Structure 1
Amino acid sequence: MSRMPGLTLPANLNSFLAKQREQADKLRAQHGIEPQPWYRITNQSSDEAEVLLYEDIGGWYGATADQFIADLRGVTAPNLRVRINSPGGSVFEGIAIANALRSHPANITIQVDGIAASIASVIAMAGDRIEMAPNTMMMVHEASGLCMGNAADMAEMEELLDLISDNIADAYASRAGGTREQWRERMRAETWYLPEDAVDAGLADEAIQVPKTGTPPASPEESSPEPDMHRAFDLTAYGYTGPQQATGLTEDIRALVGEEVAAALRAQVVVEPAPVEPEPVEQVVAAVPAEPAPPAPVDEDPAAEPLLDPWAAAVAQLMQPAPDPWAELTSHLTGTTASSSAATEAA
């Protein structure tokens, strides 16, 4: 693996750092670039503030540790969360930041959001609590740098880099336990840690877990009360109690249209009576009262005229011919003859 870029560390370190900052100021002025801090500090609430370290630590175009420390003094919240996603950078800028965090009165929680490598992992050791977000990584390695000069300069550079690596190993050992040499071995191997590995090595306190998908639902005894937001489409929250029965539906319609309209609707509906099975004959006969016996037949005279139907009798009166007026006037003229004839026939 390729090593992370380190800081060039010549023999005269103070002079080099001053020249580095001066050159950075000239480059920014030359290209019209305003200083862009590689961090951001925000007050999330009166109880907690947040620091984002999402770039290289220090650097040619970035702000230096003194600016970060000045802004950090303005944080008065009792809790401070430092979120790191940095590949590293300047060793001495990082050490200054770590010491500023250790001396701050707030309770410091370090949260690795992406990567905390090289000197960024040393800054992480300054937290009172260290958390690794899912799929993040932490990396430790030896200090590295560039040097130009003769053999004496190279030998001096070797001693300086070895001293810096011992100093970094002590930071890991102070936090995670172990010895300086044990951590130097891991640094020489350029060791990478996943969240669980960092916890096992003592470099972190917690590997934040994400709920797994596809897991079977918990039993009713184990499940917690469902939050209100999960019941957004639970119709019982709006008074729905399930499908209504037919009687309940009829009552609802009558309440809507009124009794008069409901009565009119019922009048339009013809309800056929349900078929009734015939009762046994014995029960029917017993239930029906006995009719009186018909009168005995009376001997009729064969010569007598048959009885007329009342309706026929009424009609017969209408069919009688009207009396002839001429016959009434002449009836007395024929009365004697008729009487003589009747007497003669009678004798």
Structure 2
Amino acid sequence: MNITLPGKAAAIMASQREQAEKQRARLGVEARSWYRISNAADPDEAEVMLYDEIGGWFGSTADDLIAELKGITSPKMRVRINSPGGSVFEGIAIANALRAHPANVTVQVDGYAASIASVIAMAGDRIEMAPNSMMMIHDASGLCYGNASDMDEMGELLDLISDNIADAYAARAGGTREQWRERMRAETWYLPEDAVGNGLADEAVKAPKAGTPTEPDEEPEPDMARAWDLAAYGYTGPRQPEPEAQPESVTLTFNVGDAIGEQLLAVLRKDIALCDVAPPVEAAASEPVAEATPVEPAAEEPAVEPEALVAEPEPEPPAAPAAPEDPWAALTAHLTQDEPDAWSVLVSNLTTTASSSAATEA
């Protein structure tokens, strides 16, 4: 931190500054700009960059910056600092102008904020330390030309200014004036984590990982890096599997007569009639019921000898099967029972009628 004193020292510095301005005018060189303001009317955030000595000796003073700060209408302001410090009083004026501005001020230390630049950083509503940045604090220093009394006066003034700067650190980070003066006398440097730990900053910003975008509105990736758009070739995405077709019900129909023969079918129908079981609808519909075989008159049959009738015992009628549990069991029940042959069944009525006639005549 540099200061000047009224009197002889001030006269010397003014003379040097005047000579520098004349030299610059003769060479046609513009004054070196140590700050820059951009996006002053941005609806989101304006940016102020302090990237040089504070209050340069070659024509640029703090009043230039303060005048431009009044033109910022954005609700937010980001002050980016990379400065070795400079004039104490001009730095204090800049810090107070930032505190008085209606915008919400965020100070971002990009490289380093040393000396009075660290005091300007204390004026932010929020202080961020960029990766690998640093902050330095130390006692004020200055030049003096004169006798012993002038030197004593200079020493007292430097202590007063240093106490004033220590109060700025204490107001932001806590602690006492003397504690901060001890650190200032030792010229203390702080890394981002140290600055946060000692209350001089609010956040140590982490470095972004490789490949992570740092700005939301950065340039889009080149067309060569983009994936191929196969839609131009008729590709519409992975083919979806077609739904499986549900199996259709199958009805098996067959003719019973063709399967077992007409003669056995007639016997099967007669057995079903004896069991007093109704035939299935499908069978009745597909096959017509055969008419009963006509019985020839007894007179036309050859005479049967009584002895033959007596000799041949009358077959017992078949026992009625038990009621089946279902129609199919009723249809197939006769296949598991002993039955007389078909011819005996057909002529049994003849033998019964003849026996009755013979008994009557006798």
Report the CA distance between 1:93 and its aligned residue: 1.1
Assess if the C-alpha contact under 8 Å between 2:21 and 2:59 holds in 1: no
Match of 1:30 in 2: 26
Match of 1:51 in 2: 48
**Structure 1 residues 48 and 211 mapped into 2: Cα distance closer, same or farther (>3 Å)?**
closer
Q: How does 1:293-312 map to 2 (within 5 A)?
A: none
Match of 1:121 in 2: 118
Report the CA distance between 1:62 and its aligned residue: 4.7
Report the CA distance between 1:150 and its aligned residue: 1.3
Give the residue type in structure 2 aligned to 1:37.
S
Structure 2: distance between partners of 1:198 and 1:178: 14
Residue 77 in 1 paired to residue 74 in 2? yes
**Structure 1 residues 177 and 8 mapped into 2: Cα distance closer, same or farther (>3 Å)?**
closer
**Structure 1 residues 26 and 209 mapped into 2: Cα distance closer, same or farther (>3 Å)?**
same
Assess if the C-alpha contact under 8 Å between 1:11 and 1:153 holds in 2: no
Residue 193 in 1 paired to residue 187 in 2? no
Of the three residues 215, 233, 251, the one matched with 2:227 is: 233
Q: What SS is found at the alignment partner of 1:186?
A: helix
Q: What SS is found at the alignment partner of 2:193?
A: helix
Give the residue type in structure 2 aligned to 1:7.
N
Assess if the C-alpha contact under 8 Å between 2:108 and 2:128 holds in 1: yes
Of the three residues 100, 103, 107, the one matched with 1:106 is: 103
Report the CA distance between 1:196 and its aligned residue: 0.6
**Structure 1 residues 241 and 39 mapped into 2: Cα distance closer, same or farther (>3 Å)?**
same
Q: How does 1:1-347 map to 2 (within 5 A)?
A: 6-12=1-7, 21-43=17-39, 45-212=42-209, 232-233=226-227, 239-241=236-238
CA RMSD of aligned residues (A): 3.0
Structure 2: distance between partners of 1:178 and 1:236: 66
Fraction of identical pairs, as percent: 69
Q: What SS is found at the alignment partner of 1:108?
A: strand
Give the residue type in structure 2 aligned to 1:233.
A
The normalised TM-score by structure 2 is 0.57
Assess if the C-alpha contact under 8 Å between 1:10 and 1:147 holds in 2: yes
Assess if the C-alpha contact under 8 Å between 1:9 and 1:157 holds in 2: no
Give the residue type in structure 1 aligned to 2:29.
I
Structure 2: distance between partners of 1:213 and 1:8: 45
Assess if the C-alpha contact under 8 Å between 1:134 and 1:210 holds in 2: yes
Report the CA distance between 1:22 and its aligned residue: 3.8
Give the residue type in structure 1 aligned to 2:33.
P
**Structure 1 residues 160 and 30 mapped into 2: Cα distance closer, same or farther (>3 Å)?**
farther
**Structure 1 residues 11 and 156 mapped into 2: Cα distance closer, same or farther (>3 Å)?**
farther
**Structure 1 residues 210 and 200 mapped into 2: Cα distance closer, same or farther (>3 Å)?**
same
Assess if the C-alpha contact under 8 Å between 2:61 and 2:90 holds in 1: yes
Q: Deviations over 1:93-150 (max 9, x none)?
A: 1111111111111110000100100000000000000000100000000111122221
Report the CA distance between 1:212 and its aligned residue: 4.8
Structure 1: distance between partners of 2:192 and 2:230: 43
User: Structure 1: where are the runs of 5+ without partners?
Assistant: 1-5, 215-227, 246-347
Report the CA distance between 1:25 and its aligned residue: 2.8
Report the CA distance between 1:197 and its aligned residue: 0.5
Give the residue type in structure 2 aligned to 1:179.
T
Assess if the C-alpha contact under 8 Å between 1:38 and 1:62 holds in 2: no
Q: What SS is found at the alignment partner of 1:77?
A: coil
Q: What SS is found at the alignment partner of 2:142?
A: coil
Structure 2: distance between partners of 1:61 and 1:239: 68
User: Structure 2: where are the runs of 5+ without partners?
Assistant: 212-219, 242-362
Q: What SS is found at the alignment partner of 1:241?
A: coil
**Structure 1 residues 14 and 61 mapped into 2: Cα distance closer, same or farther (>3 Å)?**
closer
Structure 2: distance between partners of 1:89 and 1:123: 11
Assess if the C-alpha contact under 8 Å between 1:140 and 1:192 holds in 2: yes
Structure 2: distance between partners of 1:77 and 1:213: 32
Structure 1: distance between partners of 2:84 and 2:135: 9
**Structure 1 residues 115 and 235 mapped into 2: Cα distance closer, same or farther (>3 Å)?**
same
The normalised TM-score by structure 1 is 0.59
